[in-house]
Amino acid sequence: MTRITVSVDGVSCTDEVEPRMLLVHYLRETVGKVGTVIGCDTSNCGACTVHLDGRSVKSCNMLAVQADGHEVTTIEGLAKDGRLHPMQVAFHENHALQCGYCTPGMIMQAIDLVGQNPSPTEDEIRHGMEGNLCRCTGYHNIVKAVAAAAGAMSSERSDS
């Protein structure tokens, strides 16, 4: 067992873990962040996407011990004071989810994308989301939602 300290959604967590434990299993089973889900075993689907020190990573493709000393943000850490993140709002408003299983990963990746590129084109959104599979939406409304959120986030920035 190895002792790790990881900040998860702003809370410092110190736990003893097996070195082989994947970050996603640590989040789900040890910390209880079941909002982050597992969709595949080949790191193709992106359902487990979280932010590590502010950048998107697939949490099935990291060991929990690699996150020692780092900050992890999950879908459960996005809403602040009961106020949803603009990306969450945009997914809801644009009907960018159906079964919702891919949604946490989609939202986390979309936030990273817009963080890097505040006004992406449709093509840039599509390529920026290529690490996340969805079987329900055909991506059409996901692309719309990311564009809408990018707009909302940039006007939020210019307002403040």
Q: Please report how close the Cβ of residue 150 comes to other proteins at its closest, in angstroms.
A: 15
Q: Which is nearer to other proteins, 15 or 112 (CB)?
A: 112
Query: Which residues partner with 52 through β-bridges?
Result: 55, 72
- Among 129, 137, 99, 89, which Cα is nearest to 112's? 129
Handedness of CA 17, 19, 21, 26 (dihedral sign): positive
Q: To the nearest whole angstrom, how small is the minimum distance from the Cβ of residue 39 to other proteins?
A: 5
Q: Is the Cβ of residue 40 or residue 155 nearer to other proteins in the bound state?
A: 40
Sign of CA dihedral 140, 127, 133, 51: negative
Taking the complex as a whole, how short is the minimal distance between the CB of residue 157 and other proteins, in angstroms? 22
Structure tokens at 24: 């996603």
Q: What is the number of other CB atoms lying within 10 angstroms of the CB of residue 7? A: 16
Eight-class DSSP state of 36: S
Name which of 15 and 93 has its Cβ closer to other proteins.
Answer: 93
Cβ closest to other proteins, residue 119 vs residue 127: 127
**Closest approach of other proteins to the CB of residue 16, in Å:** 13
